[in-house]
Structure 1
Amino acid sequence: MKRRDFVQMSGLGAGALLLPTTMMGNSIAAEALLAPGMDVIVKKRMADVALNTAKSMGATYADARIGRYLNQYVFTREDKVQNVVNTESFGIGIRVIANGTWGFASTNNVTEDGIQKATQQAVAIAKANSKFQKEPVVLAPVSGQGEVSWKTPIKKDFKDVPVSEKVDLLLNANAAALENGANFVNSALFMVNEQKYFASTDGSYIDQDVHRIWPTFGVTAVDQAAGKFKTRQAMSAPMGMGYEYMDGLASEKLDGAAGLKLYRNSYDMVEDATTAAKQAKEMLTAKSVDPGKYDLVLEPNHLGLTIHESVGHPTELDRVLGYEANYAGTSFATIDKWESKDFKYGSDIVNIVADKTQVGSLGAVGYDDEGVPCKQWDIIRNGVLVNYQAIRDQVKMIDQNESHGCCYAQSWNDVQFQRMPNISLEAGKEAYSVQQMIKDVEKGIYIAGRGSYSIDQQRYNFQFGGTVFYEIKDGEIVGMLNDVAYQSNTQEFWNSCAKICDQSDYRLFGSFFDGKGQPPQVSAVSHGSSTTRFNGINVINTGRTV
């Protein structure tokens, strides 16, 4: 068995074991998810205890985050339920500036006494750290928001849906896969509700209710005579939506190449599992790719991961400045390239925006974890690098005086820091469909879905795989391919971007557990795009050895 195939087959089950325990909390019964949390009036009173205590001890700034984090995860395999996980985590995190230095402490004892003690600890930590602080922390100004609230615009709360209904959906998807040629199938539903209350000495009291959902599966077909197998992962995207995403009937289905079914706004899991089983069987007899230069037609569910790794991470300002070097590396997109105002990150049609407000996206919130109203801003405009991702104590380093509103902590127990907002490629301005794009390709490959990837620590040289691959010859799909991966460097790749389909093809990809920082935290982020063509990209055969 190849290591790559083993990782693909076992990844979903392993993921259940490797979920971030720091954000999961205590196991509870499913019905306990419906219990009301702390009243907003009480939250304000508790937050004021932290803010007043911090100020009385000499802090020049303080914020408090009271968080209730609810998770429900359902796992199945073939005709069996493997696990149902329900968790709740509740507590408060207090961050202060004292003597020009940050301090942070947290507690799950959300009482006046518990909050006072945690705040005292945060201030003490800040003062101790100030002995080593070379320059005082300078925050970009933000107006106090007063008492405001924001909620993900959901139609159906996952907590109101019986577990039995969720199990039935997964098992029906499994059965559909098995009926259509799969030998093995596992499936899962990840559902998250963050109930977050933020207060600061700037005068903000912000109550937010954030929802996310991710359905996924892995289907495996086996050729016992040949002693090989192929796996096809789900074409779903994690979304910032409620359980209405799973309704299926409301799904806006888009036709990809080669009859591939793709989804927007809601997801038909049974249909996708049916298609997946048929495609996994087709992969068993598909020909292996001939290495060489190809024009690549990349659909959004695939391209999103490439955007994430080659644009999202290298434009995080803390990574650019070297703060992430010990854990995740640095960035080729250095300050001097931005200062030049003419660094060609991509071709003229490449316009990439950061956005924390996009409806349905994983990163959509009203305010970040510093109380900054969220917004959209340019990262790349007409192919030129024009900005980074930065928060209140960073923007002065790039001569700006307004936070981008992209600060986040995975729980009340973790300090907030700069995290990737939604990073998306704008759709083409002219009417142009996937079918038209394929007709314009003489020698190419259509790639859909996520796959394995590798990228260096500067986010420059990379290799990406995918889920399914189809050969394009003289403007037509001629058959499925195996063993495809493409190699390039970030600047060369984005400068090869030749055509982008219009808004009617625009969809979101998502990363539900994106890691960063020491100690590590995860966050959820989406990447939107339409199907896009990149000309003359080097394709290798991953099944051949030298």
Structure 2
Amino acid sequence: MKRRDFLQLTGMGIGGALLTVPLLGKAVDVNRLLELPMDVTEKKRLANIGLNAAKGNGASYADVRIGRYLNQYIFTREDKLQNAVNTESFGVGVRVLANGTWGFASTKDVSEKGIQKAAETAVAIAKANSKIQTEPVILAPVGSYGDVSWKTPLEKNAVAVPLKEKVDLLLSANAEAINNGANFVNSALFLINEQKYFASTEGSYIDQDIHRIWPNFNVTAIDSASGKYKTREALSSPMGMGFEYMDGRASSKKEGPGGTMHYYDHYDMIEDAGLAGKQAKEMLSADSIKAGKYDLVLDPNHLGLTIHESVGHATELDRVLGYEANYAGTSFATLDKWKSGDFKYGSDIVNIFADKTQKGSLGAVGYDDEGVKTKKWDIIKNGILVNYQAIRDQAHIIDEKESHGCCYSQSWNDVQFQRMSNISLTPGKEKYSPMDMIKDVEKGIYIVGRGSYSIDQQRYNFQFGGTLFFEIEKGKIKGPVNDVAYQSNTQEFWNSCTKICDESDYKTFGSFFDGKGQPSQISAVSHGSSTTRFDGVNVINTARNI
């Protein structure tokens, strides 16, 4: 699934079309999702069979991943349940190094014979590949962790919540949107559980249980006289949490500029749906923006996507090296800029970091998919490009002594490779709220939520829209406006960053279905920030630029 497909998915107009994605596995009864995973002792025994078979056939290194991937997707429209599907995918992937070359094979036959055969096949593939490989793979060292485990911190397993309770919540949100001005509404709930076991010839046996949740909706309000319509998406964030995310705790939400609602560690879907109905209706009569230069005040729910595209993808080392060129482009952030030590990616207050340990984030795991303990590291420091995102066979290229721990595979059936970590903007140090920021803006636009976007093949020139737009005049919200998009290039944009709200405003936004690679794989990743100001950015009127 491509990133553009992800944006189309958020509109919810496709109903159950997502179910064609091969990753989702085989449809199963909901009770199957609640069955206990294979005993960890049995996983280790089977993994050792694969490791021994690989070594016995000439591999210098091998890892075995036993994966069970569970999904529940629920779709509704207005007062009806459209679809509820439960899927399971279970199998084994074996990756090896032989003659300095990678080989990979997988099987759904999770037995001694099946795993042994997969290991033998992986070695044979590696040896065949080595005949045309010019340089051997160099792996950065990694710790031998022995028998360890990690689990997403949960208060309530979302899969275990009765289906009726989840459907009732979605339908209640739909009703609230209709009662507040919406003509149509679609809603959905995506639940994912990855049960992953990793074993390697370096002595690590890692058992992980990972949970993710994403509630979403899209409301539409129509002016019957003119035939015009406006839509408003949910302001939820996909999270690495359980169903406790849906309890709408008062302590984790507050009103923002323009009457928007900010949700942090917990989400009130019904409240957001009601507000969405009102705002979609209000947008029908809102003015169209006048093109020009504006100071932009960007909400975290919006800025997450801009960070994702202009920094996250731009600093993936394999993209920088040109390995992604055929599928989704390269990067302007080339090695010479990093080596110079003074490339101004952004202004002095821009500090962007990668962190796969961030609690509640989509990318939060204890260990990546090649057995590296996850960590936090700097990407941009005081505006200067200081590092990239690299895995074990890339680390030596940028003089790193160890992997950053950002290797991932979407399933047991796919080889693991470098994927984006959680990439986030450090909050400001002084106390400063979104309302304070609004007061300091003479002429600007406050933007909330994600929207359509485009960016070139080097992650440089771009255009971003949003969900809600509020014009700012002399330090006050003047009112909602329509047809807004801003244009810039990555370096110019981040160097126009002049103010960042403090940590109390920090929240994450993420992507459940970020696409990369050939064959294409998807991954889930979050991007944190506080509300941030960018000065003198070019804004166009999208209604007049079609």
Alignment TM-score > 0.5, same fold: yes
Match in the other structure for 2:188: 188
Match in the other structure for 2:241: 241
After TM superposition, give the deviation of residue 21 of structure 1 in Å.
2.4
Match status 1:209 vs 2:204: no
Superposition map of 1:420-499 within 5 A: 420-499=420-499
- Closer/same/farther in 2, CA of residues 19 and 347 from structure 1, 3 Å limit: farther
Distance, in Å, in 1 between the alignment partners of 2:407 and 2:122 is 19
Match in the other structure for 1:138: 138
Task: Report the AA paired with residue 73 of structure 1.
Answer: Y
Task: Report the AA paired with residue 412 of structure 1.
Answer: W
Distance, in Å, in 2 between the alignment partners of 1:411 and 1:270 is 34
Task: Report the AA paired with residue 308 of structure 1.
Answer: H
- Checking the alignment, whether the CA contact within 8 Å between 1:140 and 1:403 is kept in structure 2 is yes
After TM superposition, give the deviation of residue 466 of structure 1 in Å.
0.2
After TM superposition, give the deviation of residue 248 of structure 1 in Å.
1.4
- Checking the alignment, whether the CA contact within 8 Å between 1:91 and 1:110 is kept in structure 2 is yes
Cα-to-partner distance string for 1:246-285 (whole Å, 9 max, x where unaligned): 1113551122111111101110000000000000000000
Structure 2 unaligned blocks of 5 or more: none
- Alignment RMSD (CA, Å): 1.3
Task: Report the AA paired with residue 140 of structure 2.
Answer: A
After TM superposition, give the deviation of residue 400 of structure 1 in Å.
1.4
Task: Report the AA paired with residue 118 of structure 2.
Answer: A
- Closer/same/farther in 2, CA of residues 349 and 485 from structure 1, 3 Å limit: same
Cα-to-partner distance string for 1:133-176 (whole Å, 9 max, x where unaligned): 10011100001110000000010001210000000000000000
Cα-to-partner distance string for 1:21-42 (whole Å, 9 max, x where unaligned): 2321110111111111211000
- Closer/same/farther in 2, CA of residues 129 and 149 from structure 1, 3 Å limit: same
Distance, in Å, in 1 between the alignment partners of 2:80 and 2:319 is 43
SS of residue matched to 1:148 = strand
After TM superposition, give the deviation of residue 9 of structure 1 in Å.
9.8
Which range moved further: 242-251 or 473-482?
Answer: 242-251
Distance, in Å, in 2 between the alignment partners of 1:338 and 1:414 is 31
SS of residue matched to 1:136 = coil
- Checking the alignment, whether the CA contact within 8 Å between 1:296 and 1:444 is kept in structure 2 is yes
After TM superposition, give the deviation of residue 20 of structure 1 in Å.
6.5
TM (norm. structure 2) is 0.98
Superposition map of 1:95-174 within 5 A: 95-174=95-174
Distance, in Å, in 2 between the alignment partners of 1:400 and 1:529 is 27
After TM superposition, give the deviation of residue 15 of structure 1 in Å.
6.7
Superposition map of 1:257-406 within 5 A: 257-406=257-406
Task: Report the AA paired with residue 40 of structure 1.
Answer: V
Match in the other structure for 1:23: 23
Cα-to-partner distance string for 1:171-227 (whole Å, 9 max, x where unaligned): 000000001110000000000000000000010000000000000000000001011
After TM superposition, give the deviation of residue 13 of structure 1 in Å.
2.7
- Checking the alignment, whether the CA contact within 8 Å between 1:345 and 1:384 is kept in structure 2 is yes
Task: Report the AA paired with residue 506 of structure 1.
Answer: Y
Distance, in Å, in 1 between the alignment partners of 2:143 and 2:545 is 59
The number of residues matched between the two structures is 541
- Checking the alignment, whether the CA contact within 8 Å between 1:251 and 1:265 is kept in structure 2 is no
Distance, in Å, in 2 between the alignment partners of 1:267 and 1:19 is 26
Task: Report the AA paired with residue 436 of structure 1.
Answer: D
- Closer/same/farther in 2, CA of residues 101 and 518 from structure 1, 3 Å limit: same
Distance, in Å, in 2 between the alignment partners of 1:358 and 1:453 is 27
- Checking the alignment, whether the CA contact within 8 Å between 1:251 and 1:263 is kept in structure 2 is no
Match status 1:56 vs 2:56: yes
SS of residue matched to 1:388 = coil
- Closer/same/farther in 2, CA of residues 545 and 146 from structure 1, 3 Å limit: closer
SS of residue matched to 1:379 = strand
- Checking the alignment, whether the CA contact within 8 Å between 2:11 and 2:233 is kept in structure 1 is no
Distance, in Å, in 1 between the alignment partners of 2:59 and 2:44 is 19
Structure 1 unaligned blocks of 5 or more: none
Task: Report the AA paired with residue 38 of structure 2.
Answer: M
After TM superposition, give the deviation of residue 10 of structure 1 in Å.
8.6
SS of residue matched to 1:18 = helix
Match status 1:36 vs 2:42: no
Task: Report the AA paired with residue 498 of structure 1.
Answer: T
Cα-to-partner distance string for 1:385-439 (whole Å, 9 max, x where unaligned): 0000000000111111210000000000000000000000000000001111000
Cα-to-partner distance string for 1:436-468 (whole Å, 9 max, x where unaligned): 100000000000000000000000000000000
- Closer/same/farther in 2, CA of residues 382 and 226 from structure 1, 3 Å limit: same
Match in the other structure for 2:510: 510
Which range moved further: 257-266 or 211-220?
Answer: 257-266
- Checking the alignment, whether the CA contact within 8 Å between 2:10 and 2:216 is kept in structure 1 is no
Distance, in Å, in 2 between the alignment partners of 1:389 and 1:305 is 18
SS of residue matched to 1:315 = coil
After TM superposition, give the deviation of residue 14 of structure 1 in Å.
2.2
Match in the other structure for 1:416: 416
SS of residue matched to 2:50 = helix
Match in the other structure for 2:224: 224
Match in the other structure for 1:76: 76
Distance, in Å, in 2 between the alignment partners of 1:481 and 1:367 is 45
Distance, in Å, in 2 between the alignment partners of 1:539 and 1:68 is 46
- Checking the alignment, whether the CA contact within 8 Å between 2:95 and 2:415 is kept in structure 1 is yes
- Checking the alignment, whether the CA contact within 8 Å between 1:346 and 1:495 is kept in structure 2 is yes
Distance, in Å, in 2 between the alignment partners of 1:33 and 1:278 is 38
SS of residue matched to 2:350 = coil
Match in the other structure for 1:198: 198
- Closer/same/farther in 2, CA of residues 250 and 20 from structure 1, 3 Å limit: farther
Distance, in Å, in 1 between the alignment partners of 2:137 and 2:205 is 23
- Checking the alignment, whether the CA contact within 8 Å between 2:295 and 2:534 is kept in structure 1 is yes
Distance, in Å, in 2 between the alignment partners of 1:256 and 1:405 is 36
Which range moved further: 385-394 or 253-262?
Answer: 253-262
Distance, in Å, in 2 between the alignment partners of 1:513 and 1:536 is 32
Distance, in Å, in 1 between the alignment partners of 2:18 and 2:241 is 24
Distance, in Å, in 1 between the alignment partners of 2:520 and 2:502 is 38
- Checking the alignment, whether the CA contact within 8 Å between 2:15 and 2:82 is kept in structure 1 is no
- Checking the alignment, whether the CA contact within 8 Å between 1:218 and 1:231 is kept in structure 2 is yes
Task: Report the AA paired with residue 289 of structure 2.
Answer: V
Distance, in Å, in 1 between the alignment partners of 2:350 and 2:47 is 44
- Checking the alignment, whether the CA contact within 8 Å between 2:513 and 2:523 is kept in structure 1 is yes
Distance, in Å, in 1 between the alignment partners of 2:476 and 2:21 is 48
Task: Report the AA paired with residue 328 of structure 1.
Answer: A
- Closer/same/farther in 2, CA of residues 9 and 420 from structure 1, 3 Å limit: closer
Match in the other structure for 2:66: 66
Cα-to-partner distance string for 1:3-26 (whole Å, 9 max, x where unaligned): x9xx97993132741356232111
Identity %: 73
Query: Deviation above 4 Å: which 4+ runs of structure 1?
Result: 7-10
Cα-to-partner distance string for 1:40-98 (whole Å, 9 max, x where unaligned): 00000000000000000110000000000000000000000000010000000000000
- Closer/same/farther in 2, CA of residues 21 and 387 from structure 1, 3 Å limit: same
- Checking the alignment, whether the CA contact within 8 Å between 1:140 and 1:393 is kept in structure 2 is yes
- Closer/same/farther in 2, CA of residues 15 and 384 from structure 1, 3 Å limit: farther
